[in-house]
Amino acid sequence: MSLTAINLTAGYGRHAVVAEVNATLPEGSTTVLIGANGSGKSTLLRTLTGAQAALAGRVELDGREINAYKPSQLARKLSLVLTDRTGGGGLRVDELVGIGRHPYSGFLGRMSAADREAVERAICLVGLGHKSAEFVASLSDGERQKAMIARALAQSTELMVLDEPTSFLDVAARFEITDLLSMLSREEGKTILLSTHDTAAALAAADNVWALCGGRVYAGSVDELREGGVLDRVYPGMRYDAAAKDFRRMLNVEGQA
């Protein structure tokens, strides 16, 4: 499953927030998108997945322009998890996750045994097997986020795009989710793109990094972007600490932050 941005400019109205993106997601790997608040990560992800129109350029999915796919076709190729909170709408966890099977279950939404098995597996993978029959509205924010990730997993797409998938999760759960996504790319060949501010967990699991700064995307491995000085420009006042494998606040001459 290949996803390629070609001279892509993303933004709102006439305002471009990310320009001239030329990058391809490496297949069967985990790519982490990092960038400061307001740098355009969510806008870029929405544009890459066809949820938002590009201002210029194009996105190709398996060599075909993404806007040429019908929604039902696209839903079988990529799944998208956004940071929008969900109240659950009176659904149980298994019912919410079951929505991910709609591209396969037909107009009436009747699920087969294979559909139900996919739902159960997705719920267990994110650690919510014990809450399958509970109402989404009764879950914590972190558990609701896991349920949304499970819905994307149940969709059984080769490409998964996730915007801040570890939002609302505690430290242990953040590593759990990023490790899960990394495992899915390694063992099941899924291509995964996720944005995050949780750099410690994400970079530890990343095969590749897209660093967004100054309205441009720089793609490469952690080491390549570090050696090129890109990582030191991603977050104002921060530098990448290779030993700690995370970003650290810069200190002034007197050693004070």
Tell me what pLDDT residue 254 has.
47
Cα–Cα distance, 188 to 123 (Å, whole number): 17
Over its length of 257 residues, how does the chain's per-residue pLDDT go in tens digits? 789 999 999 998 889 999 999 999 988 999 999 999 889 999 999 999 999 999 999 999 999 999 999 998 999 999 999 876 666 678 999 999 999 999 888 766 688 999 999 999 999 989 999 999 999 999 988 888 889 999 999 999 999 999 998 887 888 888 888 888 888 888 888 999 999 888 888 888 889 999 999 999 999 999 999 999 999 999 999 999 988 888 998 765 444 44
Q: Report in angstroms the alpha-carbon separations of 25 from 19, 75, 130, 182.
A: 17, 18, 35, 14
CATH code, 3-249: 3.40.50.300
Containing 58, the helix (H) or strand (E) segment is strand 56-61
Predicted TM-score (pTM) of this structure: 0.89
Q: Are 118 and 83 in contact (CB under 8 A)?
A: no
Residue type at 250? M
Tell me what pLDDT residue 173 has.
82
Pick from 154, 137, 150: which is nearest to 89 by CA?
137
